[in-house]
Amino acid sequence: MVGSRWSATSPGRRRGPELERAILDAALEQLSTVGWNALTMEGVAAGAHTGKAAVYRRWPSKADLVADVLRTGLPPIGAIADHGSIRGDLIRLCVRMRAVMESRAGQALRAVLHECDHAHAGRFHDVIRAGLHEPAHRLIRDLVQRGIERGDVRPDATGPFVADVIPAMMMYGAKVCGSEWTDPDIAEMIDQVMVPLLRA
């Protein structure tokens, strides 16, 4: 089509990061519309307006491509500013985690885990760990330490299981119970579980 975004630069001339981004975007679109089982390298190539060989040169298999799509597509949780209390800090963390889970890549990741076979599930669980669980654990530990220094968290609340509670509850609620984790749900979890657990 004349005047389209493809007219200024023909598909054959795209190279490097520009072409890779187009392929990753097309793969995420495929995941969001047809899912893991129906996604094909041919369909991704067509969506990216490139040849199938260009996809296979970068990603030897569908699993390699999808893992990269999910890894690069998940938004970072980011730093949590000091809200003056452990309650405020943890609520903000949960809101950030919810945003990651509800992002296009986060929704695609959950769908992939429901569809893929056991051989691939471990690889995609690694994406969740690296993109959501591990950053969340690090942040929770940092927020707890900040609360200890501020005086609203008891000094011995540093055990390894403390950092597991929020990620475990949010993933269980989303995956098993279909919870959307509304703001009131998040506040209730923090008030009834985390604040009593951590209170100085």
| pLDDT tens sequence across 74-110 | 999 999 999 999 999 999 999 999 999 889 998 888 8
Q: What is the mean pLDDT of residues 7-14?
A: 47
* Closest C-alpha to 164, from 128, 188, 134, 191: 134
Architecture of the domain spanning 11-72: Orthogonal Bundle (1.10)
What's residue 5's pLDDT? 37
Residue 197 has pLDDT above 50, yes or no: yes
> How far apart (Å, rounded) are the C-alpha atoms in residues 134 and 131?
7
Q: In angstroms, what CA-CA distances link 59 with 20, 48, 52, 91, 102?
A: 10, 14, 11, 38, 26
What's residue 200's pLDDT? 66
| pLDDT tens sequence across 116-169 | 888 888 888 888 889 888 999 999 999 999 999 999 999 999 988 999 999 999
The per-residue pLDDT of the chain, averaged, comes to: 88
Residue 11 has pLDDT above 60, yes or no: no
Residue 175 has pLDDT above 80, yes or no: no
Which tokens go with 132?
């959501």
Give me the CATH code for the 77-198 domain, please: 1.10.357.10
Domain boundaries, the chain: 11-72, 77-198
> How far apart (Å, rounded) are the C-alpha atoms in residues 171 and 174?
5
Residue 122 backbone phi and psi in degrees, to 5: -60, -40
What's residue 179's pLDDT? 72
Residue 12 has pLDDT above 70, yes or no: no
Q: Give me the residues paired with residue 199 across strands.
A: 153
Higher pLDDT, 32 or 186: 186
What's residue 14's pLDDT? 65
| pLDDT tens sequence across 20-64 | 999 999 999 999 889 999 999 999 999 999 999 999 999 999 999
What's residue 13's pLDDT? 60
Given a contact cutoff of 8 angstroms between Cβ atoms, the answer to whether 144 and 71 are in contact is: no
What's residue 113's pLDDT? 82
